[in-house]
Amino acid sequence: MPRFPLRAAAALMAAALLVSAAPSALLADDFATERAAVAEAVAAYEAVDLAGALRLAEPAAAAGNPVALHILGLVRLDPAGPAHDPAAGEAALRAALSAGYPDAGFELARALHEGRLGRPADPAAAVAVLAGVIARDPSYAPAYPALAALYAREETTEDFAALQAILPTGLALNPGHPGLLSIRGDAAFFGLAQPEDRAAALADYEAAAAAGHGYALLRLAEMYRFGDAPVAQDHVRARAYLRDAAARGEAGALSTLADMDYFGEGGPVDHPSAAAGFAAALAADPTDAFAAYSLGYMLMRGEGAAVDHPRAQALLEQASALGDIYGDLELIVLLAPHPDFTVAAPDPARAWGLCLRHAAYIAEDPEGVLDQTPEACAHLDATMSPETRAAGEALAAAD
């Protein structure tokens, strides 16, 4: 588990003094001792001496020092620490936040979003914490990029009006912040609680990309790949942006490069390179549903690699579990079973359930990419037993 760098010890101590200043000269020595211990705890944590940080922070935390509570919370949330206790870590961070220490709210929100509190990830709760931090201290700059990212994500509420409300202040407090610029670019590009403005999006993506922001490079690549106005289609330039994004750790760039290899965009059609690229993308980010689906599709058909139906099924199951509709649509073909494909355990009832679940999409084929799926569903409809039909209908109803 990576350890999150704290602000400089001097700044931490200055913040702590605002909250727990000595009430009289008689207690000056006690407060000086406490401040010194907290400073040492900060230094120990930054040196990755978690046992030392815990030992030094506990007395001051018991006395209510917010910085010590913050450090105590971080140490107890660290699985590699000497006293991993998510409940105690959460309680310490909440106490520090209640004492007016906003960094604790930032870390609490991160732990909620990442599911490090001994329960499933809770992005909505993370939003509530960060919104509360900003309500208490509108000048706390780090909360804005984190909250903006959550507002823009589907797993929260996609609250684009709230996103628009915090972007101006966030950028005023974090001038040129590449993450915020990229989010503002997305808002302009996709028309999130505002009219679409591709020129404004391009300007924001370019500014963020100039700062080395991987996602902004990916968005620029997609604009040039598809020729989204005001830019002209330029596959060579798109690939250059993608290589830069991939070098900076943007996993989505790998699967986009692989997709361009598959279709021969900016170079010749290269299925072996595409298969390797999708595998690399999935290794870099196991949640890349598009890479899982694409590699599964290729292995079903022996495109760029040897036919491997069992592995293809596993990849399509992975894509399906991640919510990719095309994972489901290709699973229909494998499980039906389709005469061109062989799996160890065909499951026509599940295949029929998926046919029913996605019947409208299959009938319309809005992307124009479906191959054997409609045929597989029609074959099932004509040949399956009443028992299989009933089981498939039950599965579809359960969805």
What is the rounded CA–CA span in Å between residue 271 and residue 192?
36
Share of the chain above pLDDT 90, in %: 82
Number of neighbouring beta carbons within 10 Å of residue 21? 8
Mean pLDDT, range 152-179, rounded to an integer:
89
Per the listing, tokens 């599911």 go with 115
pLDDT digits (tens, 9 = 90+) for 360-393: 999 998 777 788 999 999 999 999 999 999 999 9
Confidence band for 1, pLDDT divided at 50, 70 and 90: very low
How confident is the prediction for the chain on average, in pLDDT?
A: 90
Q: Which CATH number fits domain 250-315: 3.40.50.970, 3.10.20.30, 3.40.47.10, 1.25.40.10?
A: 1.25.40.10
Indicate whether 9 pLDDT > 80.
no
Confidence band for 33, pLDDT divided at 50, 70 and 90: low
pLDDT digits (tens, 9 = 90+) for 183-218: 999 999 999 999 999 999 999 999 999 999 999 999
Mean pLDDT, range 293-319, rounded to an integer:
96
Confidence band for 155, pLDDT divided at 50, 70 and 90: low
DSSP type of residue 193: S
pTM score above 0.85: no
- What is the maximal distance between C-alpha atoms in the chain? 91
- Burial category of 92 from C-beta neighbours within 10 Å (exposed 0-12, middle 13-18, buried 19 and up): buried
pLDDT digits (tens, 9 = 90+) for 334-361: 999 878 887 878 999 999 999 999 999 9
HEC profile of 78-116: CCCCCCCCHHHHHHHHHHHHHCCCHHHHHHHHHHHHHCC
What is the rounded CA–CA span in Å between residue 36 and residue 316?
57
